[in-house]
Amino acid sequence: MPSMTTTTQAPKELGEIRPRVMGFEFDDSIPRHWVAGAAVPTAMGNALHLIFPMGERFFVRAVKHYADHIDDPQLRAQIKGFYAQEGRHAHEHEKVFAWMERQGLDIRRFLAIYKKIAYAGIERISPHKLRLAATAALEHYTAIMAENALKHGLLERVHPAMREMLVWHACEEIEHKAVAYDVLQQVDSSYPLRVAGMVVATGTLIGFWFLGAAMLLRQEKGLTLRETLRQLRAAMQVNPLGRQVFARGLREYLRRDFHPWQTDNLALARSHLERLERTAA
């Protein structure tokens, strides 16, 4: 099957993809339970903080492997912006690691397991094309989570210091959401490869997210199973979109004619970015 030139599907207003250096600070005024004042949703948020940096560096390596195969100058420029944005995201999330450790949370054990399975294991044994396909699929999930967060006010119950950082990350995820997908289409547009990438993406995201949250929750003294389940139910009621991320992700991504920009949410991202840059100035 011939490779497709897909960059034209991005909205014209996208322009250059560039990182914004925000310099967030995570000090001890942030409460231990920074999501809705509750342990369970906070553990899910903290687990995402832990998963992102290594994941984002994996994405960059997966795309970098094929960067020289891309002739389209527009996509080549977008790839550079993608590296820069993901690098900044990883850096900012790692700043939260220090805050978590000051809260007395052991994060190193999870990070060691995650690194061993995902990077010393899966990354080493899987073919380059599958890594790229998994990256494109994971970017679809992050774009859905980003849209949910921005469009439906899901971050309203989050402490402002964490909220600003997550809003910034969400906006930039929307901006670069099609880059890995477009690279995949140029490298190999086969549908089975795309599906295989989605299988790896879904399994690893659910697995590591759950494991991270569970390992953090075990450290919450006095938290009973009954209370954990109660908080989980409450979180799902407040945030029904959260549990639909995977269903929506699969439904959209498995359409044969799928492209990330079929959902044009750039204006949503740009409006939040403008506000963030205004307040940071």
Residues 161 and 24: beta-carbon distance below 8 Å: yes
Residue 133's identity, in one-letter code, is A
Tell me the window of 61-69, 145-153, 170-178, 244-252 that interacts with Fe ion (CB under 5 A). Answer: 170-178
Only one residue has tokens 């014209």, namely 12
- Residues linked to residue 35 through DSSP beta bridges, in sequence order: 158
Tell me the window of 5-13, 79-87, 198-206, 258-266 that interacts with Fe ion (CB under 5 A). Answer: 79-87
165 vs 213, beta carbon nearer Fe ion? 165
Smallest distance, Å, CB 223 to Fe ion? 30
Tell me if residue 176 falls in helix, strand or coil.
coil
39 vs 60, beta carbon nearer Fe ion? 60
**Of 275, 194, 280, residue with least CA distance to 6:** 194
Smallest distance, Å, CB 274 to Fe ion? 19
d(CA 32, CA 29): 9
How far from 265 is each of 3, 17, 170, 175, 262, CA to CA, in Å? 26, 15, 11, 9, 9
Give, as one character, the DSSP assignment of residue 118.
Answer: I
Q: Does 140 bind Fe ion (CB under 5 A)?
A: no
Q: Does 89 bind Fe ion (CB under 5 A)?
A: yes
Tell me the window of 65-73, 83-91, 144-152, 228-236 that interacts with Fe ion (CB under 5 A). Answer: 83-91
Query: Count residues contacting Fe ion (CB under 5 A)?
Result: 4
Site map (CB under 5 A) of Fe ion, residues 50-69, x = contact: ------x-------------
Smallest distance, Å, CB 272 to Fe ion? 15
User: Rule CB under 5 A: which residues touch Fe ion?
Assistant: 56, 86, 89, 173
